[in-house]
Amino acid sequence: MAVLAAGCARPTARYDQTAAFEVSVTAYCLRGKTASGLEVRNGIAAADIGVLPIGSVIRLRGTGGEPAEREGIYTVLDTGRLIRGRRIDLYVPDCANAVQFGRRTMVAEVLRHGWAPDGKGTKPERP
């Protein structure tokens, strides 16, 4: 009985630490459906599914400690043929703003890696 109780007290296999890494961030303004089938809207990011699978939730922040444009929480619901490795593309409804944003280095903190409807999640690979 003590062995069973000790087994129940062990932490689950769920990954509870936040992975954070630098990413190259750009913006896009194309309207339409994402790779997940949803219409594009604010809060959507495109990523390489080998790094951040569909359903991943990330927090983007600047690298210098100061608030950066487009900081916030995004859900990976899209992909792109040019989005490979540590690249993130953010949906921006205004094309002029997307062009003005350009390419920036930011830090992505992984809040959820992929979509896990059972709540167990998966441990993100360190890219």
pTM: 0.75
- By the 8 A CB rule, do 86 and 51 touch? yes
What's the pLDDT score for residue 65? 73
pLDDT range class, residue 118, cuts 50, 70, 90: low
Q: Where are the domains of the chain?
A: 17-112
Q: Please give the pLDDT value at position 80.
A: 87
pLDDT tens digit string along 46-85? 999 999 999 999 999 998 777 788 999 999 999 988 899 9
What class, spelled out in words, does domain 17-112 have in CATH? mainly beta
Q: Name the E strands within 1-103.
A: 19-28, 44-47, 57-61, 72-78, 87-91
Average pLDDT over residues 97-119: 86
Q: How far is CA 123 from the centre of its chain?
A: 14
User: How does DSSP classify residue 39?
Assistant: B
Phi–psi pair at 3, nearest 5 degrees: -65, -45
- Band (pLDDT 50/70/90 cuts) for residue 96 is very high
pLDDT at 121 over 70: no
Collapsed DSSP state (helix, strand, coil) of residue 107 = strand
* pLDDT of res. 11: 34
Report how far apart the first and last C-alpha atoms of the chain are (Å, whole number): 42
Task: Give pLDDT, residue 64.
Answer: 78
Q: What does the pLDDT read at residue 120?
A: 53
Q: Give the residues across from 73 on adjacent strands.
A: 59
Q: What is the DSSP string of 33-55?
A: B-TTSSBP-TTEEEE-TTTS-TT
